[in-house]
Chain A
Amino acid sequence: MSRKTLTRRQFVAATAMSSAALITAPYVRGAYAAGKISIGFWDHWVPGANDASTALVKEWGEREKVEVSIDYITSNNKKIELTAAAEAQAKSGHDILQMPSWWPHAYSENLEPLNDVMEPLIKQNGEVNDTVKYLGRSGGKWLAVPATPGSQIKGPCSRIDLMKKHAGIDVQEMYPAGSPPKADNWTMETFLKAAEACHKAGFPFGIGLGETTDSVDTAGAIFQSFGAELVNAKGDITVKTDAVRQALEFYKKLIAVLPTDAPSWDDASNNKWLISGRGAMILNPPSAWAVARRDAPQVAEQCWTHGFPSGPKGRFAPFLPYFWGVWAFGKNKEAAKSLLVHLSSPAAIEKFVAASGGYDLPAYANMTKFKTWAEEGPPKGTLFHYPDPYKQQTMSIAASPAPPKIAQQIYFQATLTKMALRFAQGEKLETALAWAEGECEGFMRT
């Protein structure tokens, strides 16, 4: 058995080498040197649209040496809202969570401020609309970043043939593909006359009066076009005003020519109404047209998405943005911010729009003229005016400009549609207003 003796010099050299290795080891960049990040994305309804998100995240992960895991969470049955509530309660969960419109404010105390992300993005991509600021910012602090996937405008999707035949309106001429709209006469009055004519011809407009978002968003845009607010920006109740009375009188006339079962409509009912060929118009993002393209091509060929009619106070389009929020209790906030910058780059946004067939809408001013919207069809150009490329509409959300935590209650309790329906079903105007006022008082609690 041989026994090797260790010299003093050898001992010192070995010790120095071991120490150097131990000190430098953490700084060697391995495959996932920058740690891990977990993301909860909205599960897109367009087949293949999730692949664009996965590819973009993967590309970023490889570049930044971050291990990524993605959960696609369906919005069916409020799964995203439930996930957000659970994670906020547990102070644990995904690093980035995609949230529907009202949630950044609802969880403002739990979200990491993102001014350092948003300010450069606005410089790069252009200004965001006021609805995005209203929903995504609080007291000068950006609570979340507007997400392109899932964000949408619920504008009119008209049947070219039926509108021309029964209402005498050529929607293609009014909103020509590739050119600015000639929609000065496209007012609430014209809209109502068209609704009456199409109802008389047996093709009523498919506008819901239920409690889901499509019904509420439509009501919101109509109320705003009359300047009708239930609660103003300061938080004062303003139900009993002439503007609200005027909006209700308009709604009553409109309800008279809508399908009799509209009070029970959900977000799928208007899509089915259009696809089945029973209606001349719905107010929806192009999802109904996309399904019609697959299931009822003869209907899809006659669909044209365009701008909202204008009222006495302007032309408002119901805009429903999604947001990406970073939890303040997240474990890898810097990586999360870096990923959000990557997902909001012009190239990434264009990929999202293309993958969703034009459904997804970026919130930035310079991002409304991608070729996807110009080229999608049939008929070619049907989506050209969907992102409002000539900025003729004010992007709005129902119940704004009330402080968001109050507006969220008005929105989800569907106070606007309920009030309109009460009045249309025979309740006295002042009684319906008093009911809405009582509801709004209840929403003031803090």
Chain B
Amino acid sequence: MADVVVEQGRLSRAASPRKRASLRNAMGRKSTVAFFLTLPLILLIALLVLYPAFYSVYLATLNKAMTKFVGLSNFTFLFKRETFWMVVRQSCIFAITAVVFKALIGFIVAHFVHNIPGKKQRKWRGMLLVPWVIPPAMSTLAWLWLFDPSYSAFNYTLSFFGIGPIPWLGDTFWARFSVILVNVWYGAPFFLIMYLAALKSVPDQLYEAAAIDGANWWQKIWHITLPMMRNIIAITTLFSLIVTFANFDIVRILTSGGPLDRTHLFATWAFQVGIQSSDIPLGACVSLFMVPILAVAAVFILRDVNKRGNEA
């Protein structure tokens, strides 16, 4: 019996240095170190992103009084609402139009800035980034004053040319135009800076070779610039699409979703339904609706990026 105990003790003594060594090896691995270094961020994301996300899924399955589990009936209720489908349409129009214009303006301005020599370019870059670095809640307030129903600076200026007054935020068309305009103004610098970085990474030799071959500016853009920027365009577009789709502050400050709900987006309508009308489960449902739409967009765009990555 005593032998066995000794034997067991010896065995366990032999196993522990091996365990210690493997632990030391694991700790020495770069991936382990990387994991521990990112752990605080992972925990933070779990706390501030994952927990609220799952909690909103839970809320979306409750009845209005939040006392009973109702499964998916909040979602089926939404499907029958005319306003909900109007919000879906408007969110798509808003996000797609704004992202197209942001990308277009960003692309054009990035070319202009790219062609400005040295020090001057730095100044222009700084100035053009201003809309993006001002907190949007503040800059949108300035836009609100410019569009002000009674004292619009735009209308004042237009009056010198015999135009207007335009009801910037009081008419359905102009209200939609105004919220998209402000979103483009705010978001275009992001595209500009991303495209500028991409432009700088295109080797000059390619343009030189194309010039020798007699390519004009359009052929250079079509055959060199755009193919070289494809991935960055795709990623920037996806990122911007997500942010624009989920926009809240610009619409909330400028129109609060009006007139006649014609500028509501998912986030602003979710706020109106959930917080102002005290129907938190339905508000959670509305906001969760962004997930499948954005997931489909993300799959398409990222699949394309992967394909090109493999080709490279």
Contact A269:B276 (CB < 8 A) given known A260-B167, A264-B255: no
Q: Which residues of A contact B238 (CB under 8 A)?
A: none
The answer to whether B150 touches A276 (Cβ under 8 A) is: yes
The answer to whether A412 touches B276 (Cβ under 8 A) is: yes
Number of A residues contacting the other chain (C-beta, 8 Å)? 42
Contact A102:B278 (CB < 8 A) given known A421-B260, A439-B83: yes
Q: Which residues of A contact B64 (CB under 8 A)?
A: 405, 445-446
The answer to whether A438 touches B280 (Cβ under 8 A) is: no
* Residue in A82, A107, A263, A405 whose CB lies within 8 Å of B170: A263
B window 257-277: CB within 8 A of A: 257-261, 271-272, 275-277
The answer to whether A259 touches B260 (Cβ under 8 A) is: no
Q: Which residues of B contact A85 (CB under 8 A)?
A: 275, 278, 280
Kindly state the separation between the CA atoms of A120 and B61 in the bound complex, as whole angstroms: 42
* Residue in A78, A211, A259, A414 whose CB lies within 8 Å of B149: A259
The answer to whether A106 touches B278 (Cβ under 8 A) is: yes
Q: Which residues of B contact A109 (CB under 8 A)?
A: 65, 67
The smallest C-beta distance from B309 to any residue of chain A, in angstroms, reads 43
The smallest C-beta distance from B248 to any residue of chain A, in angstroms, reads 11
The answer to whether A418 touches B170 (Cβ under 8 A) is: no
A375 interfacial contact with B, CB 8 Å: no
* Residue in A102, A273, A409, A418 whose CB lies within 8 Å of B150: A273
Q: Which residues of B contact A418 (CB under 8 A)?
A: 260-261
Residue in B170, B257, B280 with the greatest tally of chain A CB atoms within 10 Å = B170
A331 interfacial contact with B, CB 8 Å: no
Kindly state the separation between the CA atoms of A211 and B254 in the bound complex, as whole angstroms: 12
The answer to whether B169 touches A264 (Cβ under 8 A) is: yes
The smallest C-beta distance from A38 to any residue of chain B, in angstroms, reads 22
Kindly state the separation between the CA atoms of A77 and B168 in the bound complex, as whole angstroms: 22
Kindly state the separation between the CA atoms of A107 and B252 in the bound complex, as whole angstroms: 25
Residue in A211, A266, A272, A273 with the greatest tally of chain B CB atoms within 10 Å = A211
Q: Which residues of B contact A272 (CB under 8 A)?
A: 150-151
The answer to whether A264 touches B278 (Cβ under 8 A) is: no
A81 interfacial contact with B, CB 8 Å: yes
Chain B residue, CB-CB nearest to A435: B82
The answer to whether A442 touches B81 (Cβ under 8 A) is: yes
Contact with B along A266-308 (1 / 0, CB 8 A): 1001001100101000000000000000000000000000000
A261 interfacial contact with B, CB 8 Å: yes
The smallest C-beta distance from A285 to any residue of chain B, in angstroms, reads 20
Contact A264:B150 (CB < 8 A) given known A78-B275, A78-B276: no
Contact count band on B? 35 or more
A413 interfacial contact with B, CB 8 Å: yes
Kindly state the separation between the CA atoms of A85 and B278 in the bound complex, as whole angstroms: 8
B77 interfacial contact with A, CB 8 Å: yes
B304 interfacial contact with A, CB 8 Å: no
Kindly state the separation between the CA atoms of A412 and B261 in the bound complex, as whole angstroms: 12
A374 interfacial contact with B, CB 8 Å: no
Residue in B256, B272, B276, B280 with the greatest tally of chain A CB atoms within 10 Å = B276
Kindly state the separation between the CA atoms of A209 and B258 in the bound complex, as whole angstroms: 10
The smallest C-beta distance from A207 to any residue of chain B, in angstroms, reads 13
The smallest C-beta distance from A426 to any residue of chain B, in angstroms, reads 12
The smallest C-beta distance from B165 to any residue of chain A, in angstroms, reads 8
B175 interfacial contact with A, CB 8 Å: yes
A422 interfacial contact with B, CB 8 Å: yes
The answer to whether B150 touches A211 (Cβ under 8 A) is: no
Kindly state the separation between the CA atoms of A67 and B150 in the bound complex, as whole angstroms: 48
The smallest C-beta distance from A106 to any residue of chain B, in angstroms, reads 4
Q: Which residues of B contact A408 (CB under 8 A)?
A: 277-278
Kindly state the separation between the CA atoms of A414 and B259 in the bound complex, as whole angstroms: 11
The answer to whether B150 touches A261 (Cβ under 8 A) is: yes
Chain A residue, CB-CB nearest to B84: A442
Chain B residue, CB-CB nearest to A414: B258
Q: Which residues of B contact A273 (CB under 8 A)?
A: 150
The answer to whether B275 touches A278 (Cβ under 8 A) is: no
Contact with A along B181-200 (1 / 0, CB 8 A): 00000000000000000000
Q: Which residues of B contact A262 (CB under 8 A)?
A: 149, 170
The answer to whether A261 touches B169 (Cβ under 8 A) is: yes
Chain A residue, CB-CB nearest to B137: A77
The answer to whether B150 touches A269 (Cβ under 8 A) is: yes
The smallest C-beta distance from A147 to any residue of chain B, in angstroms, reads 19
Chain B residue, CB-CB nearest to A269: B149
The smallest C-beta distance from A230 to any residue of chain B, in angstroms, reads 15
Contact with B along A209-231 (1 / 0, CB 8 A): 11110000000000000000000
Q: Which residues of A contact B260 (CB under 8 A)?
A: 263, 418, 421-422
Chain A residue, CB-CB nearest to B67: A109
A265 interfacial contact with B, CB 8 Å: yes
B63 interfacial contact with A, CB 8 Å: yes
The smallest C-beta distance from B273 to any residue of chain A, in angstroms, reads 8
B window 157-187: CB within 8 A of A: 165, 167-171, 175
Q: Which residues of A contact B252 (CB under 8 A)?
A: 77
Contact A412:B167 (CB < 8 A) given known A210-B258, A259-B150, A264-B258: no
The answer to whether B277 touches A412 (Cβ under 8 A) is: yes
Kindly state the separation between the CA atoms of A446 and B68 in the bound complex, as whole angstroms: 10
B window 58-110: CB within 8 A of A: 63-65, 67, 77, 80-83
The smallest C-beta distance from A257 to any residue of chain B, in angstroms, reads 15
* Residue in A209, A259, A438 whose CB lies within 8 Å of B82: A438
Kindly state the separation between the CA atoms of A414 and B83 in the bound complex, as whole angstroms: 13
* Residue in B149, B276, B279 whose CB lies within 8 Å of A81: B276
Q: Which residues of B contact A77 (CB under 8 A)?
A: 252
Q: Which residues of A contact B277 (CB under 8 A)?
A: 408-409, 412-413
The answer to whether B272 touches A413 (Cβ under 8 A) is: yes
Q: Which residues of A contact B282 (CB under 8 A)?
A: 445
Kindly state the separation between the CA atoms of A123 and B260 in the bound complex, as whole angstroms: 45
Kindly state the separation between the CA atoms of A82 and B278 in the bound complex, as whole angstroms: 10
Q: Which residues of B contact A265 (CB under 8 A)?
A: 149, 170
Chain A residue, CB-CB nearest to B253: A77
The answer to whether A261 touches B275 (Cβ under 8 A) is: no
The answer to whether B167 touches A264 (Cβ under 8 A) is: yes
The smallest C-beta distance from B73 to any residue of chain A, in angstroms, reads 9
The smallest C-beta distance from A408 to any residue of chain B, in angstroms, reads 6
The 5 closest A-B pairs by CB, nearest first: A261-B149, A264-B169, A264-B170, A106-B278, A261-B170
Spell out A's residues near B (CB within 8 Å). Answer: 77-78, 81-82, 85, 102-103, 106-107, 109, 209-212, 259-266, 269, 272-273, 276, 278, 405, 408-409, 412-414, 418, 421-422, 435, 438-439, 442, 445-446
Given contacts A272-B151, A408-B277, A413-B277, 7 further A-B contacts (CB under 8 A): A78-B275, A261-B167, A263-B167, A263-B258, A269-B150, A405-B278, A445-B282
Can you list 10 residue pairs at the A/B interface with Cβ under 8 Å?
A: A85-B275, A261-B165, A263-B167, A263-B258, A264-B255, A405-B278, A412-B276, A413-B277, A442-B83, A445-B64
